[in-house]
Chains A and B, each alone.
Chain A
Amino acid sequence: MPGRAKSRVNDFVIRLANVNGTGSASANGLLMKVIFRMGIPVMGKNFFPSNIQGLPTWYEIRVTKDSNLARSGEIDIMVAMNAETYQQDLKSLSPGGVLIYDSTWPRNSVLTRQDVTILGVPLAKICNERFSDARTRILMKNMAYLGTLAALLDLDRQVIKNLVEETFSSKQALIQANIEAIDLGASYAQEHFKCPLPTRVKSLDKTAGHIMIDGNTAAGLGCVYAGATVGAWYPITPSTSLMDSFKSFSERFRVDPKTGERNYCVVQAEDELAAIGIVLGASWNGARAFTPTSGPGISLMSEFIGFAYFAELPAVLFDVQRVGPSTGMPTRTQQGDILIAAYASHGDTRHVLLFPANPKECFELAVKAFDLADRLQTPVIVMLDLDIGMNDWMSEALEWNEDYRPDRGKVLGAKELEETESFYRYLDLDGDGIPYRTYPGASAKGAYFVRGSGHNKYGGYTEDEDEYQEVVDRLKRKWDTAVKLVPEPVIKMRKSAKLGIVSVGSCDYAVLEAMDRLARKGIHLNYLRVKAFPFGDKVAKFLNQHERIFVVEQNRDAQLKSLLLLETDYSKARMESILSYSGVPIDCRCIIEAIEGHVAKEVAA
């Protein structure tokens, strides 16, 4: 065997290059889950095309004993199942790495490298000999390479067997075929190669208390737990699986087993303009309502988002961000909607944003979003991205506080209205900028007109300058109240550090890994991860405690940095951007490089 294989137990990256629509996703998911069940922390990222069948797709699994759950940028093992991308896949393998390919067909000898190990397994051939049906042959090829990896990486075969049995528990016939295919791939490897490789896994106990879940599933579940009853949406990648999650959990928990009646209503709207309208119509009537969407949807919804801000209606939106501008790259990740979400719609508008960094926070912040929307009577946008939303993450298990009761905010019911002398919709009776609302149908005394046109504090139509200004000034006061209610940032402090990193959402693990590696080189930094907009005092204080701030985010135009500069008084000259916006989830290398570069410059100066 050529190459210089390093021993990398529980610390390496496998990339699987497949053709989409061939069933590889389930084999790759299974592989990751096996490693997870062996107690080894693991990360999975799916790079898939905006297409149903026939185009290249990659799955990247990082086996990481130290729980570095971002991409490392290295590729140690490549499973090259796609002839079309073979050249590219071989090229992207890190020196010393191992490439496994289907040797059923001859491989051009030009396409080789001296610094890697190349292992050929006749996967198609062994599957074709064993299975007769064409579709089965294609599917079992995936399980066969899983078997080869099982032998090469020393995966626990019993764990694999259990998982296969669980996965196909409703299709007994498939269990046997899958296990056979795995055995075929494993046997071939054992007979032809030295197994296991120096790069391999070894059982640990570091995944207890954790689950493997994607953010959209967790957020959809959060909507169920928050008591949302109306969901409206227009299908858009990468947010679709959030509504799928809400629907499937609602089918499980919210259907009367006797009558089949549903305690929820999901409306697939004609477009995003209608989806947000349905949410507003429902929340006007006191139902907790939400819509999952992505950047193009936010653009379309902006008119109604401004309406909801001005007319003061609660609404919960999930923006699972993808690569823009325009249609962009629907199946790639980015944090490119921060600014449009913060100020969506014409006129003076600003909206509460929540930024989960992992699936657990997706669940928690989904619930929080409904409370904030009801309390503040305004839209709240939960900012996921494709990476958090659609990739399976190793996440702390979800927890539920049984004492939780929804905060429905200031609502006057029929009884309270009876006791009050008069009701006016937009009076600031408590000095916090938040007025009282009523639901239609409750009582004639609570009747008022919801309108996006100019209105006075009594809810009446107005074109009077003072009356108008009084209302928008109060809305500003309500924003000041929002600052006190939104989740605080996550801060990691080392007293001596003069450099600070500010980041957001799915950058979190890459930042943590970068900080760790920099610390080993003697460069110490403090870290703040914003969890909400408005930012609040803690963010301003953190900024001001540092000589220099690096803002790490995944878009070209430094949107978080812009927002920080707009909304705090920190000096622009002292704030520096570290950006990653190719559509692939960020890895720590760009952060380390930028900060090392800065430190070197300082030393030189």
Chain B
Amino acid sequence: MTSITKPQIIHEGMARNALGLTIRDYEGRMSTLCAGCGHDSVTSAIVQSFFELSVPPHSVAKLSGIGCSSKTPAYFLSAAHGFNAVHGRMPSIATGANAANRELSLIGISGDGDSLSIGLGQFAHAVRRNLNMLYIIENNGVYGLTKGQFSASADVGTKAKKGEVNEQQPIDPVQMAMALGGTFVARSFSGDKEQLIPLIKAGIRHNGFALIDVLSPCVTFNDHEDSTKSYAYTRQFFHPAMHADFVPPAEEIKTAYDEGEVMTIELHDGSRILLRKISKDYSLNNRGAAIDYIRSHHRKGEIVTGLLYIDESEPDMHAINQTTKTPLNDLPFDKLCPGGEALETLQQRFR
């Protein structure tokens, strides 16, 4: 992934978080994406979220596959290890990383090409495994690096820049994750940080697979009229159903809500998500109803956004496996190797 070195300038009055770090400590190298690319807004929302959560940058690993979106891990958290996998295969790398070190905080950045075509299987199985990671799809309906082919998320009737019309059904990662038993399913828009940042924070803290499908327009190949993934279209048909506020542990809930208006969900680390219905007829925690709701609005051309499903009680991959709490990469050899005497004993059965 290409990038440009960014000079680190820290002003004296810059805000510092609980670790004493400034937002600069959460940035990466300079983006080489097109000016106005939705992905850069997502990157800055990620930077903001990790900074505000005071996550030590080196305790995070950032992963991606191949594509424009997959270049973005170079543009945030330069003190975190990164893994730029082969196309569509980042979820398996994340699975292995989590298997080896369950304490590492994982953030995966993918795109609609990377996750919904070549990587559809790996995406689906990461959801199924309830792998403990935040998985962001920067969804723009188009292949950018290969110059403008439709992706699998393109809506029927969408016109490519050169005039070709897509007639195949779109694959919606949100509906898929919902159907596959995803435990944290959200959709947002790169242009709405107020909605996106709390979702990223909640996704980082969620114990399990957190999907955020972020509509992130491609200014070069898919921002024209007749595109349903353009800035103008998304702004017009953006339909927030549930708003989530994120409250870190030990922090007071400051905003005043009317009684019955807000639902509080406590996460494993003591943080809370305050969920507020924006659309009265949306029912949270009902997968079937959620899918119906999303589909009926999609038929009207609307894009339902917000934290659309959450279940904090499902076991993640390690809980299912009953893995020891100590990260496996930290176990001493004498705990792993049974030794010569055990080998002698067990060979009795082979004699």
Residues on A close to B: CB < 8 A? 37, 210-213, 221, 224-230, 232, 249, 252-254, 256, 259-267, 269-271, 273-287, 289, 303-304, 307, 397-402, 404-406, 438-444, 446-453, 461
Looking at B79, B86, B94, B339, which has the most chain A CB atoms within 10 Å of its CB?
A: B86
**CB of A438, distance to nearest CB on chain B (Å):** 8
3 closest Cβ contacts across the A-B interface? A281-B96, A277-B92, A287-B100
The answer to whether the Cβ of B255 comes within 8 Å of any Cβ in the partner chain is no
> Residue on A with the closest CB to B73?
A449
Please give, as numbers and ranges, the residues of chain A lying within 8 Å of B104 by CB-CB distance.
285, 440-441
| Docked pose: A327 CA to B340 CA in angstroms | 40
> Residue on A with the closest CB to B90?
A277
Please give, as numbers and ranges, the residues of chain B lying within 8 Å of A451 by CB-CB distance.
1, 82-84
Please give, as numbers and ranges, the residues of chain A lying within 8 Å of B93 by CB-CB distance.
277-278, 280-281, 284
Instruction: Known pairs A263-B324, A440-B81, A441-B101; list 17 more (Cβ under 8 Å).
Output: A212-B350, A228-B336, A230-B100, A260-B322, A270-B121, A274-B91, A278-B95, A281-B93, A285-B100, A304-B89, A307-B86, A438-B81, A439-B81, A441-B59, A446-B58, A449-B84, A452-B86
Please give, as numbers and ranges, the residues of chain A lying within 8 Å of B124 by CB-CB distance.
270
Q: Is the interface of B mostly helix, strand, loop or mixed?
A: helix
Contact A254 to B323, CB < 8 A, known contacts A265-B99, A281-B96, A450-B84: no
> Residue on A with the closest CB to B58?
A444
Are B322 and A261 in contact (CB-based, < 8 A)? yes
Q: Can you pick out 29 interface pairs between chain A and chain B where the beta carbons lie within 8 Å of each other?
A: A210-B351, A211-B347, A212-B351, A249-B346, A252-B346, A263-B324, A264-B328, A269-B92, A269-B125, A273-B89, A273-B92, A277-B85, A277-B122, A281-B94, A285-B96, A286-B100, A287-B101, A289-B99, A401-B340, A405-B333, A440-B101, A441-B101, A444-B58, A444-B80, A449-B74, A449-B82, A449-B83, A450-B83, A450-B84
Looking at B59, B92, B124, B351, which has the most chain A CB atoms within 10 Å of its CB?
A: B92
| Docked pose: A473 CA to B89 CA in angstroms | 28
Please give, as numbers and ranges, the residues of chain A lying within 8 Å of B328 by CB-CB distance.
229-230, 263-265, 282, 287
| Docked pose: A402 CA to B80 CA in angstroms | 38
Please give, as numbers and ranges, the residues of chain A lying within 8 Å of B325 by CB-CB distance.
261
Are A441 and B61 in contact (CB-based, < 8 A)? yes
Are B336 and A282 in contact (CB-based, < 8 A)? no
Please give, as numbers and ranges, the residues of chain B lying within 8 Å of A260 by CB-CB distance.
322
The answer to whether the Cβ of B331 comes within 8 Å of any Cβ in the partner chain is yes
| Docked pose: A18 CA to B95 CA in angstroms | 43
Please give, as numbers and ranges, the residues of chain A lying within 8 Å of B208 by CB-CB distance.
none
> Residue on A with the closest CB to B349?
A166
| Docked pose: A227 CA to B332 CA in angstroms | 9
**CB of A263, distance to nearest CB on chain B (Å):** 5
- Which one, B83, B129, B346, contacts A284 given CB within 8 A? B83
**How many residues of B are counted as interface, with CB atoms below 8 angstroms from the partner's CB atoms?**
60
Are A284 and B99 in contact (CB-based, < 8 A)? no
Please give, as numbers and ranges, the residues of chain A lying within 8 Å of B80 by CB-CB distance.
440, 444, 447
Are A261 and B81 in contact (CB-based, < 8 A)? no
Are B84 and A225 in contact (CB-based, < 8 A)? no
Are A461 and B3 in contact (CB-based, < 8 A)? yes
Contact A282 to B89, CB < 8 A, known contacts A263-B324, A265-B318, A265-B321: no
Are B347 and A285 in contact (CB-based, < 8 A)? no
Are B2 and A227 in contact (CB-based, < 8 A)? no
- Which one, B85, B129, B337, B351, contacts A225 given CB within 8 A? B337
Please give, as numbers and ranges, the residues of chain B lying within 8 Å of A232 by CB-CB distance.
92, 95-96, 99
Contact A282 to B99, CB < 8 A, known contacts A227-B336, A451-B1: yes
Are A440 and B86 in contact (CB-based, < 8 A)? no
Are A281 and B322 in contact (CB-based, < 8 A)? no
- Which one, A262, A267, A279, contacts B324 given CB within 8 A? A262
The answer to whether the Cβ of B343 comes within 8 Å of any Cβ in the partner chain is yes
The answer to whether the Cβ of B147 comes within 8 Å of any Cβ in the partner chain is no
Are A278 and B99 in contact (CB-based, < 8 A)? yes
- Which one, A265, A303, A402, contacts B339 given CB within 8 A? A402
Are A261 and B103 in contact (CB-based, < 8 A)? no
> Residue on B with the closest CB to A449?
B82
**CB of B284, distance to nearest CB on chain A (Å):** 29
Are B84 and A282 in contact (CB-based, < 8 A)? no
**CB of A228, distance to nearest CB on chain B (Å):** 8
**CB of A158, distance to nearest CB on chain B (Å):** 16
- Which one, A275, A285, A400, contacts B101 given CB within 8 A? A285
| Docked pose: A256 CA to B331 CA in angstroms | 13
> Residue on B with the closest CB to A230?
B99
Please give, as numbers and ranges, the residues of chain A lying within 8 Å of B94 by CB-CB distance.
281
Please give, as numbers and ranges, the residues of chain B lying within 8 Å of A263 by CB-CB distance.
324, 328, 331, 335-336
Contact A447 to B78, CB < 8 A, known contacts A263-B328, A441-B59: yes
- Which one, B78, B339, B351, contacts A400 given CB within 8 A? B339
- Which one, A225, A267, A450, contacts B82 given CB within 8 A? A450
The answer to whether the Cβ of B97 comes within 8 Å of any Cβ in the partner chain is yes
